[in-house]
Amino acid sequence: MSETSYMEQELGSQPETWRQAARIGAAAGPLPKPGQRVAVVGCGTSWFMAQSYAALREAAGQGVTDPFAASEAFLGSDRGYDAVVAITRSGTTTEVLRVLDAVKGRIPTVTIIGDPETPAVALSDETVSLPFADEKSVVQTRFATTALTLLRAHLGEDTSRAVADAEEALAARVDKEWVFAEQFSFLGSGWTFGLANEAALKMREAAQSWTESYPAMEYRHGPIAIAAPGRVTWLFGQAPEGLEADVARTGARFVHHARDPLADLVLVQRVALERARARGLDPDNPRSLTRSVLLETPAAS
């Protein structure tokens, strides 16, 4: 593996791609308007960004927003959606294309896309392209966070603190204890639950790590039994009362930073990269993964 992987270069460019996305997001006409009833779909990382966006949009009072894994989306006319937002870096993920095809002509669609030269464009009514955030690494880092920054800006958030915190997260020390920890449980609430899911996926994809993720208040309802010395419980966003002390009693390391939670995800991406390196893995080409999942390839003979 080369010293500078694509993953490292791409995750390092996030402050700049976030800045660009914030400019586009503040003006992006095709994205949902306040009051619209919205379903947002994606697969893998893109699904987790959908979860975060949905929670942010609801919290901002901009309307009902339901996130779905594209393969599990309920988009029947009885649900009354005014718009479907799809998130896809590749523009080729089969389940996302199936959703776009299934609702065509019935529900207006807008796709946030990394590669605009792909089939998702023709299947979508509108697209918001972020080609500057597309990636060579199979493991997504900047496309996902840049799409979410676009959406945060579109909801009216000032994302400049997130950008500054991402710069700081890129310079922060990666604790050796995180690089060699046996297990991670990531927690979040509201929009940061999607980030917790994404952090856990990043560690699995890039470094084959054992990770879990839960809504923060659910953690004490069973999963805390996994916490133990040599393991890490990493919280994004607001800390539930008493949780830090509860985790401390297990002997696990409790990690909670004050920086913007999306910027804290940047630090987790760096931990995933360091864990891959420490295990001699190529973070750009993880075992069993491809840039996107294509289900319409000819059946193997």
Which residue ranges make up the site for ligand F1P (CB under 6 A)?
A: 43-46, 88-90, 93, 96, 138, 140, 205, 289, 291-293
Q: How far is the CB of 265 from ligand F1P (least distance, A)?
A: 14
Bridge partner list, 231: 183
Nearer to ligand F1P, 188 or 286 (CB): 286
Tell me if 200 sits within 8 A of 272, measured CB to CB.
Answer: no
Q: How far is the CB of 108 from ligand F1P (least distance, A)?
A: 20
Query: Distance between CA atoms of 275 and 141, rounded to whole angstroms?
Result: 15
By CB atoms closer than 10 A (0-12, 13-18, 19+), residue 172 is middle
Query: Distance between CA atoms of 166 and 264, rounded to whole angstroms?
Result: 7
Nearer to ligand F1P, 134 or 165 (CB): 134
Q: How far is the CB of 182 from ligand F1P (least distance, A)?
A: 23
Nearer to ligand F1P, 98 or 220 (CB): 98
Q: How far is the CB of 193 from ligand F1P (least distance, A)?
A: 17
Nearer to ligand F1P, 147 or 216 (CB): 147
Count of C-beta atoms within a 10 Å radius of residue 206: 29
Q: How far is the CB of 95 from ligand F1P (least distance, A)?
A: 8
Count of C-beta atoms within a 10 Å radius of residue 286: 19
Tell me if 13 sits within 8 A of 19, measured CB to CB.
Answer: no
Strands 109-113 and 65-69: unpaired
Question: Tokens in use for 31?
Answer: 């994205």
Nearer to ligand F1P, 228 or 295 (CB): 295
Nearer to ligand F1P, 238 or 285 (CB): 285
Query: Distance between CA atoms of 192 and 215, rounded to whole angstroms?
Result: 9
Query: Distance between CA atoms of 68 and 75, rounded to whole angstroms?
Result: 10
Q: How far is the CB of 46 from ligand F1P (least distance, A)?
A: 4
